[in-house]
Amino acid sequence: MSERISEAELAVMEVLWDAAPLTAAEVAERIDPARGWSMTTIKTLLGRLLAKGVLDHVEDGRRYRYRPLVERTAYVTHESTRLIERLFAGRAVPLVAHLAESGQLSATDIAELEALVRELKA
């Protein structure tokens, strides 16, 4: 994935990852109303995502139905790898240490990390 997806574009992608294909109007119905986005904003974001090559669309009468070309898991993998490489020299341990030192890990998070480590060792 060559171009980054902005936070606003990601909100649109999340809707489409949950249920696709959708029309622009259907995307607008599913976007958090607190964002206060107009239909014009939704269409602009869809256009940007099409230009970035992460969406496709097909004609359905007088409207388009949009669907992601990038799977959510592939996007998450790409972005998390990019973050770790950029901020933590490609190592995950300093990221986890930073989260722990800054109080960002809950007891549940720690228990899940411990279970993951046990699973990885097995």
DSSP strands (E only) in the chain? 55-60, 63-68
58: tokens are 């097909």
The CATH number of the structural domain formed by 7-68 is 1.10.10.10
- The pLDDT tens digits of the residues spanning 44-75 come to 999 999 999 999 999 999 999 999 999 999 99
Instruction: State if pTM tops 0.95.
Output: no
Range 72-121 has CATH code 1.10.4040: yes
Quote the crossing angle between the two packed helices 39-51 and 7-18, to the nearest 10°: 90
Residue segments in the chain with a per-residue pLDDT below the cut of 70: 1-2
Q: How far apart are CA 77 and CA 40, in angstroms?
A: 31
Fold identical between 7-68 and 72-121? no
| Domain locations in the chain as residue ranges | 7-68, 72-121
Residue 59 carries which DSSP code? E
Rounded Cα gap, residues 64 and 75, in angstroms: 24
AA letter at 94: P
